[in-house]
Amino acid sequence: MMKKLLLMVGIMASQLITAQSVTIDTAPSSAEIGETITIAITFDTGNTDEATEIYYELRDVTEGVSLWKYSQLLSITAASSGTHSTTNFTIPTTSGGVDLDDTKDYQIVVNYKIGSAWGPGNTQSIDITPAPVTESWSWGDNLVFTPGTTLDVPIKYTSEEDIAAGGIKFVIWTETRGTVNDVNLFSDIWYGAFSNPSILPAGTNVETTITITAPNGMINPSTSKTYLSSDLTTWDPNAGDAGRNYVDHETTPAPIYTYQFRTALGTDASFQVKPGSTDFTISESLSTNQAELSKIAVSPNPTTGILNIADLDGVTSISILTLTGQVVKEFDVKSTINISDLTPGVYILLTNNGKYKKIIKN
């Protein structure tokens, strides 16, 4: 009798365990590094216990060794069964500070959680492939914009393959920096992440523009257009960055207030910034087009002080401005000027007839 009772208990327990299930309804069989995928599941706890979280994971299972690479643990309305999906599961470019290796074997792992207990889980193999390679890209030459609600950001790139949508990523910041009273200042505020919205064709030294909508934080409510660079000294969005500004910006302004582009990895605010940034200017007085820009040649650039200027037809004076529009030096027209006394940084060389060039003083 005892053996029969134990057998019945074992059968009931087996049925209870068997009733628990997690099914993967939607998941790709392959994905590129950096690609965002959708995973959908159906779950059943097998009894009245209610799941409160759903778990999604990318796992390296090469040679039978199980290594975590990326995961999401998402809260849900408590339920004993149902469906769930994630639409923003991004295959990471790095994990643990190491580039994701597309030659390894990977699985998508899904499960539900009841308190601290896990369900039976489920897995599906996924083939990770390299992202389309952008061999190199950089900012274009014309980084002075007129105020508005959009910016046409110029870029140059070289790539043997078409660049997928989202393959080129950058972010906008405002930055305060410089030295005041022997104190090195630095403060920055993030405004938004952007990328190419469509495929860019393969090519060498291809020049194009990526049109972005200016973030709300950059819009001046009085004009409904972007703040000018010259507004940064009074608007000073970084002044409220508590703990990172060390001066009173009204009485002791920092030397540099600027907009800045930074290259980036990732798809949201948790991006990983790569080396590579450049200041840009929003100005009504410095606006021009690419054809005008190409008419003036300045060398060497960067420079330690001496600038040789060509194509001076029609030019009677030359000014050197900060990126906020402040004139720091003026010259009568000449083919060679000296700016060695200026603080290292980025400036605009502007002629009286509207030609200009961004210059870098080392």
Tens of pLDDT, residue by residue, the chain (362 residues): 444 444 444 434 443 444 799 999 999 999 988 888 999 999 999 999 999 999 999 999 999 999 999 999 999 999 999 999 999 898 987 777 677 888 999 999 999 999 999 999 999 999 998 776 556 788 887 788 888 899 989 988 888 888 888 788 888 988 877 777 777 777 778 888 888 888 888 888 888 899 999 998 899 888 899 988 878 776 655 554 444 444 555 666 677 788 889 887 544 444 455 557 888 888 875 544 433 443 578 888 888 999 999 878 878 888 887 765 677 888 988 889 999 998 888 787 878 776 777 788 88
Q: At 148, is the secondary structure helix, strand, or coil?
A: coil
Superfamily of segment(s) 20-129: Immunoglobulins (2.60.40.10)
Cα(174)–Cα(185) distance, rounded to whole angstroms?
14
Counting every residue written for the chain, the total comes to 362
According to CATH, what is the number of the domain 294-361? 2.60.40
Q: Amino acid letter at 237?
A: P
137 φψ region: left (φ > 0), alpha (ψ -120 to 50), beta (else): beta
CATH 2.60.40.10 in the chain is located at: 20-129
2 φψ region: left (φ > 0), alpha (ψ -120 to 50), beta (else): alpha
| CA distances for 138 relative to 149, 197, 272, 277, angstroms | 23, 17, 17, 9
136-282: CATH, from 1.25.40, 3.40.50, 2.60.40, 3.30.460: 2.60.40
